[in-house]
Amino acid sequence: SPGAPKEFTMRRFAPLLPLLAAVSCGPKPDPVPPVTQPEETSPAAATNPPMDQHFVQANEIKMAIVMGDLEAARNPARWLQNNLDPEALPARWRPHVPKVKRAAKDVENASTIAEAAKGAAKLARTCGDCHTDVGIELGGPEAYEPTGAATPGEEMHRHQWALDRMYEGLMRPSLEGWNSGADMLATAPLHGEGAGEGVAGQAAKVHGLGASAKNAADWNQREDHLAELLSSCASCHEAVGFKPGN
């Protein structure tokens, strides 16, 4: 079943243990950037629940998929479907609500991580389309500053930072944010010494996705890149038998 942990040996898992520890115990994702509401939005219609909560739920979906946890992705997807009320939004925003809910429903109904990843990428893209249409501007991410030595934890943190920038790149939307994440993803190391051929192959695929992401011709192609990237991250964790709580 999707939630059942895979059998693995310590020898196979050991090369990535420091990296995976960095995901669950290391630096947390950057805070959700603040939202600047359009001037014409009245306080009563500023969104209920607050817009920041939409981003929190979308980011929870992203992280659950990366960790290969379908059930954890379904919970925030249900929240988005149940808590987005078009009547609580300005009139110009309302046509986008069904699209957001459909993308969230795709995540909830997904039977595989690949399907959930497509739903999550569609969700991010749909949010970005809404922001563009209604004129919402999101603050940009701070520049990434390495902590120093190229430790396994630092290397995984770079990948996490890159994925966050690309996800936000679709949601804001921001080509600059997308490209900054793609640049980092294409160069940041992923696996430690002694990693098996399968893990090394997954790492090469992720690096390749980063390199090709900057060549995407439009936001449709960027959406497809993000879906494949989310799924590839989960596949790499699966390749070493990693599941949440391990």
- The model's pLDDT over 105-146, given as tens digits with 9 standing for 90+, comes to 999 999 999 999 999 999 999 999 999 999 988 776 666 766
Residue 192, pLDDT > 80, answer: no
Q: Which of 99-108, 129-138, 198-207, 227-236 has the lowest mean pLDDT?
A: 198-207
The better pLDDT of the pair 98, 189 is held by 98
3-state SS class at 159: helix
What is the structure's pLDDT at 201? Answer: 75
The better pLDDT of the pair 5, 231 is held by 231
The better pLDDT of the pair 60, 85 is held by 60
Q: Which of 53-57, 87-91, 131-135, 242-246 has the lowest mean pLDDT?
A: 242-246
The better pLDDT of the pair 11, 141 is held by 141
Confidence of residue 167 (pLDDT cuts 50, 70, 90): very high
Confidence of residue 67 (pLDDT cuts 50, 70, 90): very high
Q: Which two tokens stand for residue 119?
A: 């739903």
CA–CA distance, 204 with 189 (Å, rounded to integer): 10
Confidence of residue 156 (pLDDT cuts 50, 70, 90): confident
DSSP letter assigned to residue 169? H
Rounded to two decimals, the pTM is: 0.76
Q: Torsions phi, psi of 138, nearest 5?
A: -100, 140
Q: Which pairs count as long-range contacts for 199-206, CB under 8 Å and 24+ apart, including other chains?
A: 199/15, 199/16, 199/236, 199/239, 199/240, 202/232, 202/235, 202/236, 202/239, 203/236, 205/232, 206/159, 206/232, 206/233, 206/236
What is the structure's pLDDT at 8? Answer: 32
Residue 6, pLDDT > 90, answer: no
User: What average pLDDT does this structure show over 83-99?
Assistant: 91
CA–CA distance, 95 with 126 (Å, rounded to integer): 11
